[in-house]
Amino acid sequence: MKILMFGRGVIATVYGWVLQQAGHDVEFYVRPGRAATYGDAVNLDLIDMRRRVRGQRVAEKWPVRYREALAPDHDFDLIVLSVPHHRLPEATAFLAPRVGQATVLVFGNLWTEPLAAIGTLPPDQIAWGFPQAGGGFGADGVLHGALLRSVVFGTLGQPPTDREQAVRQAFREAGLRIKERPDFRGWLWVHFVSDAGMFSQGLRRGSLSKLAGARGDLREALLAGRELLPLLQARDLDLRRHRGGLLPFRAPTWLTAPALAWLTTHVPLARVSLTMHDDPDAEEPREVCRDVLAEARRLGISVPRLEAAEPNFAREETGRV
């Protein structure tokens, strides 16, 4: 399969590496001028958990190929679109006239209705998924990350199409197990408010990295997430279909907070996903919290912990004398 990774973020890079390992032909689309900045290889320092419970350390220099233009008559079979949710409208607007015959895998967070989120991309060429990897680029340019053995795919209530099955097969060929989520819209929203709870506390501490192993802060993050459950109900989400995903918020925090502290200290993906998010100016955590708070206010849902964290993510007002 000929695959185009949209951008060269952490998720695009990790899964691009995995898919190329499986024999697929992988390229990266980057903005004009970025290819020279990035160079012709990525330095990887990964914990690959596909085959070993404790993971296998991967440290290598991976040669990559970039393109800075995309014509409508390209021959890519799959475009993997993994961008921060607030960048998705810009990305879909760019791809819509250039999608050609490719399937587009929307591979990340969503807070709006999924079909609205893809803009004018053809719905019958979309596949829906979510990564199970994390990490970040260090100051030295090395990608430090971890990759779980599974990846999440879902549909919006109907069986997967042939296109969607072909995408799943490509990931299977890369040694990844597929976790299906039939109510993918709901699963994404549960995940989004979970992120909002964590981000609200990470922003309060200065960055998400400060939460690793911090029981008190993680307890507050769980309680912030718990306060957001009525918001999901107000959006007509049937929480009974997502009991597993909601368990950390509904269970007693004296149990879940220490468990989460242990996970973020000892489990590679959880640890790396937090410790590598050490940029105090990162925009995505702020955008997630802003969007969730705006929706809570629109629907009249009380979210005191997120409200209290607002000074850490509110946009500065301009134009005042």
Q: Which two tokens stand for residue 271?
A: 């640890």
Domain boundaries, the chain: 2-182, 186-312
**Secondary structure E strands in the chain:** 2-6, 25-29, 41-48, 56-63, 66-67, 78-81, 103-107, 126-130, 133-137, 143-147, 150-154, 177-181
Mean pLDDT confidence for 52-59: 87
Banded model confidence at residue 53, pLDDT cuts 50, 70, 90: confident
| Residue 182 CB neighbour total at 10 angstroms | 14
Banded model confidence at residue 321, pLDDT cuts 50, 70, 90: very low
* pTM for this entry: 0.94
SS percent in the chain: helix, strand, coil, step 5: 50, 20, 30
Please name the residue that has the structure tokens 């991309």.
Answer: 121
Distance (Å, rounded) from C-alpha 109 to C-alpha 131? 10
Segment 266-285, tens digit of pLDDT:
877 677 777 767 677 789 99
Return the pLDDT at 236. Answer: 95
Segment 98-131, tens digit of pLDDT:
999 999 999 999 999 999 999 999 999 999 999 9
Segment 134-193, tens digit of pLDDT:
888 988 899 999 999 999 999 998 999 999 999 999 999 999 999 999 899 999 999 999
Segment 177-236, tens digit of pLDDT:
999 998 999 999 999 999 999 999 999 998 888 998 999 999 999 999 999 999 999 999
Distance (Å, rounded) from C-alpha 253 to C-alpha 260? 10
Does the pLDDT at position 318 exceed 50?
Answer: no
Mean pLDDT confidence for 13-18: 98
Q: Which CATH class is domain 2-182?
A: alpha beta
Nearest partner of 131 among 16, 264, 217, judged by Cα: 16
Segment 234-257, tens digit of pLDDT:
999 999 999 999 999 999 999 999
The sheet with strand 41-48 has its strands ordered as 56-63, 41-48, 143-147, 133-137
Return the pLDDT at 317. Answer: 53
Which of 77-91, 234-248, 258-272 is the least confident region? 258-272
Does the pLDDT at position 86 exceed 90?
Answer: yes
Identity at 115, one-letter amino acid code: L
Segment 29-49, tens digit of pLDDT:
999 999 999 999 999 999 999
